[in-house]
Every structure is written in structure tokens, then in C-alpha cells.
Structure 1
Amino acid sequence: MKIGMKGFKRYLPKSLFGRALLIIILPIAVMQIAVAYFFFNAHWARVTANLSDSVAADIAVATTLFKQTPTIERAQDLDSLLRPDMQLSVVFREGETLPVSQRRQMFFSNLDKTLRRSLNESLTDSFWFDTTRYPNHIDVRVEVDGGYLRFIAARERVFAPTGFVFIFWLITATVLLTLVSVIFIRNQARPIRELADAAEAYGKGKTLGTYKPSGASEVRLAGHSFLKMRSRIQRHMEQRTMMLAGVSHDLRTPLTRLKLQLAMQENTEEVRAAKADIVEMENMLNGYLDFARGLEQESPERVHFLSYLKGVSEGKAVDLNQDSIPDNLEIEIRPASFQRALDNLITNSIKYANGASISLALTSTHVEVFIDDSGPGIPKNLRKEAFRAFSRLDSARSQNVEGVGLGLAIARDIAQLHGGTLKLTDSPMGGLRAVISLPR
């Protein structure tokens, strides 16, 4: 049962618009089908049967009267009698036989069955009829001695004409209700789509533009909650940056005094070690500040990606695979932030493998940047840990040049800021491959 339900759900609409439309249209369609079914079986079929019985009875009486005096003049007299009041014409076709060709069936074949039943009950002679040749008349032929009688009856005398009118208005009402539903549901789904686009834009670090909560009260509430959440996140980021910037500023003053004091000391081994510790402390402060600014706002720019990567790799031990980069490829990024991410990854590769290789792969929706090296790499079970801020693996592979364990964390934050991802995998060169995936 569960497997059947899962298979059924695959065919259901995935969007809110499609599901809401299905919720409204499906009951309307079921109701219209049920109404049409009961109408045809209860009302229309009964009325049509009564009409068919009446016409069949008139034809039977006319046939009996003709048999009493089977002449052309008698047929003409019957025609003059029946045509004005009963809308039934009579013609005697002397020497002719009933058609033997297969008659075409109407779409509503039940009407033919009703007429056939009525004629079978009223006539003892062979007959043939056609309901499709004429749009407004029915052709009935009854075999008699010396030929056959041809009766032409008005269609509304045989079949209830209101049925087609009913079907027309049923379909028209369904179409109108569907159009109204589509317009209404689209207006309800648009604010949700706008909220989703605003959330996606904010996730990529873009401005929200003129987004304003609208739609139903629940959607407006979600929109206002999103704007409040964005304000809280921005305030938190600003406070974090200000706090770390303040700490960095406050610590630089005593560090500067210590550097001056050490510079006045003799250049002994202890003094050199103290100077190295101070340099390391400064690098740590810079690393903390870089991490705090990892989500700092920067306006996106559309750049020529090949030229951009050439500038990033210039002067570094980096092999740029230009053949994998289309010359006309342009992508929207934050140049300074994205360069910081690439620098961190390239620095790690150079530090632990003495070089890096950059290549590209394109899909229909994303650009994938590969940074490969031939170093020791990172075991699979430690790759998730490597992305944690201030994480220092035993191999020291995830540390940035300052040695505070923030290189990969900053690079991942920047990739996510661009709406992309950063993952680690095995490199074809035998070391580590860092893959930055960005939307095109």
C-alpha cells in the first residue's frame, strides 16, 4: 500500500499552485461528471425514450394505414396529414429495398439504442434508420410490399434537444470556474514565490530590492517574520564584526609596545622566539577578523572569469587549466570575497603540496571550480570536521597560513554567500580536491 501511494504521489503536482489548482478543479470535475451522469441516466434518457416511443408509434400507425391501401396516392395522403402537425413526412419508394450498408454511429450511441428499442416494440416489419445523415432530421425506413416507406422526422421529436444545451453550459461553467480558480490561485501563490525569491536572494547576499510582504494574512506574517529575522542576523553579524575588530584593535596596542621593547633588546634566541610569538599572535588576530568579515556585504559584479582567475593565480605556484575555461564565460561574484576563498584554498595546497591546479567544469545551472593538489589530503572521516571554525586536524591540513584553523571555514562561508557550496573530495592528482559550485 505504501509503495502504491509513493508511486501515485510521483504524478501529483509539486508546486503550491498546481496542488491548490488540483484541490479546486478535481472536486468540480467529479461533481460535473456525477451531475452529467445522473442527468443523462435519470432525466434525459427518460425524456428521450418517451419521445422515441411517440415517433415510433406514429410511424407504426402510418405504416398500418398504408398497408390497407398500398399505393403512392395513399402515401401522399398520409404525408399531407402527418407533415403539418406531427412534423413527419412520408414517401413511398416503390421497387426499392432497405439499405444494407453499415450505418455510422453517433457519439451518443445510447440515443440510437433508445430509438431502435422503440421501433422494435412498435413495428413488426423490417426497418432501417439513420440519425447522422441530416443535422436536424431522422431518417427511418420501413419495409412494405413492393418497396419501403421513408419517414423523415424532426430530430427534436426523437431526442431531447436540451441535453446538448445542458452539456454546453456544463462545460462552459467548468471552463469559467477553472479560469477564475487559476487567476485566484496565481494571485495567492505569487506572494509566496516572492517571499521564496527574497529568501534566496538574501541567502546569496543580494539586496531584497522592493520586496514587501503581501497576500494572505499568513503569508504576510511569514514575510514580516523573514524581514525581522534578516534584521536580527544582520545586527548579529555587525556586532560580531565590531567585537572582534575592537578586540583586535585593543590587542594591537600592547603588541606594538612589546615589539618595540623587543626591538631594543639584543638579538638573542629568546628575543627571536618572542618576536615569532608576537607575529603569530598578530596573524591570529588577522584571521579572527577575516572570519568575522567572512559574510561582510560586498556588491556583486559580473566578471570575465578567465581573466579573473588569471589575476588570482598570478605570482603563485598555480597551474591554471585554461582549456577548461570558456573564453566568453562571465559570472556574477563578489570579487574580493571570492578571491579570499580561492586564496585560502590555494594557500593550503601550496603549503602542503608545493603547488595547486585550477580547472573548471560547467553544467546547465552551475560552474564548478576545482582546486587540486598532490599533497597528503584529508581522510574522508575528517573532512566534515575540517570545515569547523578553529579546527586543527592532526595533519594540520585544514589550517590556513596563520595557523588558526579558519581557512576552510571562511572559504565555505564565502561560497554559501554566493549561493553555492564547497566540498572536499579526492583529487585525480592524488591529494585533495576542493570543489566550489556556483550558480550560473
Structure 2
Amino acid sequence: MHFSTMLKPYLPKSLLGRSVLIIVTPLILLQVISATVFFENHWEKVGRRLALGVAGEIAVAIDGMRRATDSSSRLALFQQMRGALQLDLHYEPGGVLKDTRKLGETILVRQMTGAMDETVNKPHRIDAESSDRFVDIDVQLADGVLSVTVPRKRLFSTTTYVFVLWMAGTSMLLFAVAMVFMRNQVRPIRRLAQAANDFGMGRDTPRFKPEGASEVRRAAGAFIAMRNRIRRHIQQRTDMLAGVSHDLRTPLTRMKLQLEMMDGVDGVADLKTDITDMEHMLEEYLAFARGEGGEATVEFSLSDMLQDITTQARRKSAAIDLHCEGDIRAPIKPNALKRALTNLVENSIRHGQNVSIRSGVRAETVEIVIDDDGPGIPPENRNDVFKPFFRLDKSRNSGTGGVGLGMTIARDVIRGHGGEIVLDDAPGGGLRVRVSLPV
């Protein structure tokens, strides 16, 4: 597997996260490289020089002890070393060094050991673990053991902590500044995405305007131009079909009047039925062209809407059962969505004897399931039924259905709300219609 493929699941998905990663990764690498160079060069050199200085002072003390012939001279030497060099010396005549173990911090002890081997070159023991403030060094001499207590600050450079703090502090400051700037750059992109999503759901975004970087402004301007073109196209289509519908209603009305005056003539009843069907088709065509129109999106109770649809269906003697999980509210266009759900319920009633409607909220999504016990729809035709004017009944008989626009209108409305409609097999052998809407 490729290395980039392995890392992909762990990388940030958002533009802000990826932008921050692009900024932070070089910053961290720079810090690691700087710290490595500092520790391997500066700190090692400074620490070694400090250790060599202390070891040299111990060598001077040992050399001075050789010249001190009595205890008073040795005591004066120790006092001088304590006052001038902060070394606390103690000599144990006849003492024997029990072991030469090195205890405590690895770097400090390693540097001090190297300095003692280079300068003093005698058996010694270093203890940097017993005390937090001092380091104890025992040196085996020919006639005894010399114990030296050295302040830890003489062997350790505090510039290390200062360097690390400055490096971490400036990095955090740069990271905070980068986050602020990147948020300001990403915000216009988020607003553009939200405006596009709202437009797809039929919601108006009057306050949206191009802002941000020049590329984002160009994308926002292209979106606004596209949105205006789509709105003009929809309006022109609606106006055209409205005009056609109005023009056709006039001759149909005259034909109805003529037929009323021809009462009793053979075939008049059939002609009246045909004219009624034509008027119904015109209304369907106009509704399909109009779509959702300019209806505003409001917070509405889907439970109340489904209750109204069920009540209307029961008035037509339909056997229908409704179950809603509490009061479900969502931002919708009530008239358009009610028309779409009514089409779906009427289709189920037309082809089945028993209909069941269930609704509930699943993971921030409203789910409406409509089951019937009718013949269902073959799987190969489930996508076709959403095509305009498609009917399973090729005879186009109005008694077995409408003009083939009900399912098309329903899907357009549901998708306009940001949802989806799926057809499946019902448990009772009929058709299951599953509608999903965002909360």
C-alpha cells in the first residue's frame, strides 16, 4: 500500500485543518532540527567546558594537597577552594573508594566522567542523584579519599530551558496568528458553500455577497450569476406554461358551454369526461412547471402535516394507519411538501388496500416511511417512475392513475428540501416509500 494512502484516513478533511497542517508541519520540523542542532552542538560544548573547568579545579586541589604537609595547610586550602570556587572538599585519610558507579543524569554524568578521566585520571565515583542542588564526586588518592561537593548549577547550562521556552512560546504565538488568519480566509468559502446548499434547498440568501480572497470572490460571483440565470429560466418556464394553460382554458370553457347546450346528444357525456381530463392534465402540467414557486421556508410540524394528510385520506374511506414519534419539526416549505407527501399517500391508496405511515428522527434526519400492500413496482422500473409522464400503465387510462407527474413532483420537492426518496419492497409485499429530510 502506498504511504500517502495509509496516511489519508488520519489527515484532516476540512480546508482549515489541512491549511493549519501545512503551516504546523514545517514549524515542528524546524523546531526539531533546531533543537537537535542545539543539543548536539551548543549544549554539549557548553556542558563539556563546564565539566572540564570543575575537573581542572579538582586537579588543582589534589596538586595542592601534595604540597600541604600538615592538616592546617590542607584546611586552609579547602577553605580557599570553598570561598573562591564554591567547592566543598573533605578528605578521609586511609579511606578506600568502595565502588566507581555513576549515578544520576546521563548527560551530566557522562560529561563529568570524561572530564575527570581527561584531567584527573584517577578512580572516582560521581553521584548526581542524591541531591537536587549538588553533585558529589569522590576521588581515590594514594593515601585516602577526597570528597568534593559541587553546586549543580556549575555543571548545567540554564540556557537550554530558556531556548526551549522561547522556541515553544514563539511557535505557539505564530500558530495562534496563523489560525486567526486561516479562519478569516476559510470563512468566505464556508459561506459560499452554505449559500449554494441553501439555494439547492430553495432557501433564500439575501445577505450573501462576494468576500475574501480574489479567487473566492470570483467563485462567489460565478455562483450568484448562475443562481440568477437558473431563477430566470424557472420563471420563464413557469410563465410560458401558465400562458399556455390560460390560452387552452378559453377554448375548453367554450367547448364545455357548447356541450351543456347539446344535452341529450349521443357522445356528449364522453366528451365532457375528456374535457375534464384535459383540464386536470393542464393543472398537473402547470404544477410541475411551477415546482415549489416562491414559497418561503418556515419551521413547521411534520407530525401535524402527516395527521392532516391521513385525515383527508380517511375521508375517502382509505384504510390508513399513522404513527409519529413525538412532535417532529423541521424547516420546510409546507404547501410544497404537503403536496408531495399527498401524492405519495394517494399512490399507495390507489394501488393498495391498507397503508401504513411511520415517521421519526434518525441521526439528525427526519425519516417518513409509507408502506402499502399493493402489487408494488418492479425493481427495474423504480427509477423510471420518477421520470416526467412515465406510467406503468401504458394505456394512459386516467382511471388507473394521473398523467405521470405525481412521483416526479414529489421527488423534485423532496430533493429541493435537501432530502431523498427511495423505493423498496414493503414487508407486506407491496411498495415501501422512504423519505429522508434534514432536520
1:294 pairs with one of 269, 291, 294 = 291
1:242 pairs with one of 239, 242, 252 = 239
Q: 1 CA distance for matches of 2:174 and 2:135?
A: 36
Question: Partner letter of residue 161 of structure 2?
Answer: F
Matches within 5 A, 1:403-418: 403-418=402-417
Q: 1:101 Cα shift?
A: 12
Q: 1:415 Cα shift?
A: 0.7
Residues 1:189 and 2:196 are matched in the alignment: no
Residues 1:393 and 2:392 are matched in the alignment: yes
Question: Partner letter of residue 421 of structure 1?
Answer: E
Matches within 5 A, 1:132-281: 137-144=134-141, 148-281=145-278
Q: 2 CA distance for matches of 1:70 and 1:272?
A: 145
5+ unaligned residues in a row in structure 1: which ranges?
A: none
Question: Partner letter of residue 320 of structure 2?
Answer: D
Deviation string 1:392-421 (CA, Å, 9 cap, x unpaired) is 234789x99862211111101111121111
3-state SS, counterpart of residue 368 of structure 2: strand
Q: 2 CA distance for matches of 1:388 and 1:353?
A: 22
Q: 1:11 Cα shift?
A: 0.4
**Alpha carbons 1:76, 1:91 under 8 Å: kept:** no
**Alpha carbons 1:130, 1:140 under 8 Å: kept:** yes
What residue is the counterpart of 2:333 in the other structure? 334
5+ unaligned residues in a row in structure 2: which ranges?
A: none
What residue is the counterpart of 1:319 in the other structure? 320
Q: 2 CA distance for matches of 1:186 and 1:367?
A: 32
What residue is the counterpart of 1:370 in the other structure? 369
**Alpha carbons 1:372, 1:434 under 8 Å: kept:** yes
What residue is the counterpart of 1:57 in the other structure? 56
Q: 2 CA distance for matches of 1:418 and 1:244?
A: 24
Q: 1:390 Cα shift?
A: 1.9
Deviation string 1:200-232 (CA, Å, 9 cap, x unpaired) is 222222221522222111112212221222111
Work out the number of aligned pairs and report it: 435
Q: 1:19 Cα shift?
A: 0.3
Q: 1:160 Cα shift?
A: 3.2
Question: Partner letter of residue 272 of structure 1?
Answer: A
**Alpha carbons 1:283, 1:402 under 8 Å: kept:** no
Q: 2 CA distance for matches of 1:273 and 1:168?
A: 94
Q: In terms of mean alpha carbon deviation, does 407-416 or 136-145 score higher?
A: 136-145
**Alpha carbons 1:310, 1:320 under 8 Å: kept:** no
Q: 1:296 Cα shift?
A: 1.3
What residue is the counterpart of 2:305 in the other structure? 308
3-state SS, counterpart of residue 327 of structure 1: coil
3-state SS, counterpart of residue 315 of structure 1: helix
Question: Partner letter of residue 289 of structure 2?
Answer: A
Matches within 5 A, 1:398-437: 403-437=402-436
Q: 1:318 Cα shift?
A: 5.0
Q: In terms of mean alpha carbon deviation, does 88-97 or 333-342 score higher?
A: 88-97
Matches within 5 A, 1:64-143: 64-66=63-65, 69=68, 73-92=72-91, 105-106=104-105, 109-131=106-128, 137-143=134-140
Question: Partner letter of residue 322 of structure 2?
Answer: N
Q: TM-score by structure 2 length?
A: 0.90
Q: In terms of mean alpha carbon deviation, does 267-276 or 209-218 score higher?
A: 267-276
Deviation string 1:329-377 (CA, Å, 9 cap, x unpaired) is 3233222111100111111111122442211242121011011111121
3-state SS, counterpart of residue 405 of structure 1: coil
Q: 1 CA distance for matches of 2:399 and 2:297?
A: 26
**Alpha carbons 1:78, 1:90 under 8 Å: kept:** no
Distance 1:25 1:236, change over 3 A: same
Q: 1:110 Cα shift?
A: 2.6
**Alpha carbons 2:138, 2:148 under 8 Å: kept:** yes
Q: 1 CA distance for matches of 2:142 and 2:319?
A: 108
Question: Partner letter of residue 231 of structure 1?
Answer: N
Matches within 5 A, 1:34-53: 34-53=33-52
Q: 1 CA distance for matches of 2:273 and 2:69?
A: 132
Q: 2 CA distance for matches of 1:387 and 1:296?
A: 20
What residue is the counterpart of 1:358 in the other structure? 357
Percent of matched pairs sharing the same residue:
40
**Alpha carbons 1:92, 1:147 under 8 Å: kept:** yes
Q: In terms of mean alpha carbon deviation, does 347-356 or 375-384 score higher?
A: 347-356
Q: 1:96 Cα shift?
A: 7.6
Deviation string 1:268-293 (CA, Å, 9 cap, x unpaired) is 45222222221121111111111112
Distance 1:66 1:285, change over 3 A: same
Question: Partner letter of residue 149 of structure 1?
Answer: L
Q: In terms of mean alpha carbon deviation, does 327-336 or 382-391 score higher?
A: 327-336
Question: Partner letter of residue 270 of structure 1?
Answer: G
Q: 1 CA distance for matches of 2:362 and 2:98?
A: 69
Q: In terms of mean alpha carbon deviation, does 115-124 or 358-367 score higher?
A: 115-124
**Alpha carbons 1:333, 1:418 under 8 Å: kept:** yes
Q: TM-score by structure 1 length?
A: 0.89
3-state SS, counterpart of residue 10 of structure 1: helix
Distance 1:127 1:372, change over 3 A: same
Q: 1:198 Cα shift?
A: 1.7
